[in-house]
Chain A
Amino acid sequence: MNYIVGHYNYFIAIFLMMVGFYTVISRGNLIKKIVGLNIFQVSVFLIYISLSTVKGGAAPIITEGVKVYSNPLPHVLILTAIVVGVATTALGLALVVRIKEAYGTIEEDEIHRQDNSL
């Protein structure tokens, strides 16, 4: 019981990660794949932020009278990763738009059929 209460964040993160993973590998639509990748990414953020939490800790801004702070390092890594994530997602979506213009479709099977690559 203690184990479940102490780890529920990680279970949620794993669930999210698997939802994203399933979307990426089971869907042929390229936009859906990118959405899946984004969900996967969010789950990683959640893991990092969960790791940084300290029971009874405050937000890592030095304040008088506060002794315990949560770990600032994962916060740094994740807040840059969020912004980088949007930029790279935009890059992926730009590629999707170009694929649509070149092939007239964004379904993976159809693209493979046109290329005779499967």
Chain B
Amino acid sequence: MIMDAVDVSLTEAAVGAGVSTVLMLATLALTKDHEEKQPEKNRHWLPLAVVLMTGAALVYGTLDIPGFGDPTSPAQTHVSPYYIEQAARETGVPNIVTAVLASYRGFDTLGEVVVIFTAGIAVLLLLGDKHQKPITGGAKEKRIPQNLVLRIISKTVIPLIILFALYVQFHGDYGPGGGFQAGIIMSAALILYSLVFGLEAAERIIPKSLLTFLISLGVLIYASVGIVSLFMGGNYLDYSVLADNQIAGQHLGILLVELGVGISVFAVMLTIFFTFAGRERPR
């Protein structure tokens, strides 16, 4: 928080706590439990030398970087003063990060969502249905053995996590948050559920077919907002034409786009987790 990046820290916290650890552990479980001793070759000094030299060059490069927090550095003096001064007036959204993310750089964000979409599809293709465990029996062994404390705590906490995800989703215009964070938090809630109660139970709540539908639905919502604004006489993803006045149009557009982002991110993260967790361990 020293660096005032509230949106970023929210995202990183959600990702780090909710998704990436589980993902790493799932992969380790699918590959092997222990590492084989590497043959001691003289492969260590060469990488070390390369790394030290690169590091020295980079430190030399910092000589020209303006100091930490310098308000006159080039990063502070070009496009961002415009965003800071005009964003609230032009979009009516107090959170500048959300305004820039969804409106000024809407195209960029659409691209990012498509990347996430593609990665989700690729994971499905790589680890998809072929070697999935049979739903009955096999799924049971992955679940944490019956533990009263875990079950009760998670039963209490999961609704709160989902509520918080919805708050982050729809309050993103005014406070830190938005579709990316909300999608991650939402999927973390369901990952927790399936860790404690078993994959089988989680797939009863959200079947895989629904998830694949949601992955595309999010991207579709985002792209359609752009097409609608085309038909209403504006440029692609120009939300000002969506309603009677500019502020209302921008607000509506940002809300819809963030919703699309949230749905897609949520569905992709959960799909990735389900495919990793549901895969049979190779012999």
Q: How far is the CB of A17 from chain B (nearest CB, A)?
A: 7
Contact residues in A for B26 (Cβ distance below 8 Å):
93
**Residue in A31, A38, A54, A63 whose Cβ sees the most chain B Cβ within 10 Å:** A54
Chain B residues touching A, range: 35 or more
In the complex, A53→B75 CA distance in Å? 10
Asked if B269 and A86 make an inter-chain contact with CB atoms under 8 angstroms apart, the answer reads: yes
A9, A79, A107: which contacts B68 (Cβ < 8 A)?
A9
CB distance from B112 to the nearest CB of A (A): 4
Interface class of chain A by DSSP = helix
A81 contacts across to B, CB distance below 8 A: 112
Question: Considering the chains assembled together, what is the distance between the CA atoms of A51 and B8 in angstroms?
Answer: 14
**Residue from the list B31, B108, B276 in contact with A31, Cβ < 8 A:** B31
Q: How far is the CB of A62 from chain B (nearest CB, A)?
A: 4
* A101 / chain B contacts, CB cutoff of 8 Å: 131, 282
Report if A107-B48 is in contact (Cβ < 8 Å); known contacts: A51-B73, A69-B96, A94-B123: no
**Most B Cβ at <10 Å: residue of A2, A56, A97:** A97
Given A53-B3, A89-B20, A98-B127, is A61 in contact with B96 using a C-beta cutoff of 8 Å?
yes
Cβ < 8 Å to A, chain B residues 21-61: 23-24, 26-28, 30-32, 35-36, 38, 43-44, 47-48, 50-52, 54-55, 58-59
CB < 8 Å: which of B24, B105, B119, B131 contacts A35? B24
Give per-residue flags for B104-125: 1 if the beta carbon is below 8 A from chain A beta carbons, else 0: 0100110010011001101100
CB neighbours of A83 from chain B (8 A): 11, 15, 112, 116, 180, 183-184, 265
Q: What B residues does A107 contact at CB under 8 A?
A: 36, 38
Nearest-neighbour CB distance to chain B for A66, whole angstroms, equals 10
Other-chain residue from B3, B54, B67 in contact with A49 (beta carbon distance below 8 A): B3
Bound Cα distance from A61 to B5, whole angstroms: 10
A84 in contact with B15 (CB, 8 Å) = no
**Interface pair A91/B19, CB less than 8 Å apart:** no
Contacts A31-B31, A83-B265 given; does A21 touch B51 at CB 8 Å:
yes
A59 CA to B52 CA in the complex, in Å?
A: 36
Please indicate the chain B residues that have their CB under 8 angstroms from the CB of A70 in the complex.
3-5
Contact in complex: B279, A97 (CB < 8 Å)? yes
* Any A CB within 8 A of the CB of B245: no
Bound CA span A28–B43, Å: 10
| B134 interfacial by beta-carbon distance below 8 Å | no
B185 to chain A, nearest CB (A): 12
Q: Which residues of B are in contact with A by a Cβ distance under 8 Å?
A: 2-8, 11-12, 15, 19-20, 23-24, 26-28, 30-32, 35-36, 38, 43-44, 47-48, 50-52, 54-55, 58-59, 62-63, 65, 67-71, 73, 75-76, 79-80, 83-84, 87-88, 94-97, 100-101, 105, 108-109, 112, 115-116, 119-120, 122-123, 126-127, 131, 174-176, 178, 180-181, 183-184, 265, 268-269, 272, 275-276, 279, 282
What 7 A-B pairs are tightest by C-beta distance, nearest first? A6-B67, A55-B69, A87-B119, A26-B47, A72-B96, A60-B96, A62-B94
Sample of 10 more A-B contacts, CB < 8 Å, known A10-B65, A69-B84, A82-B8: A7-B65, A10-B68, A11-B59, A18-B58, A31-B28, A53-B3, A72-B84, A87-B272, A94-B127, A95-B126
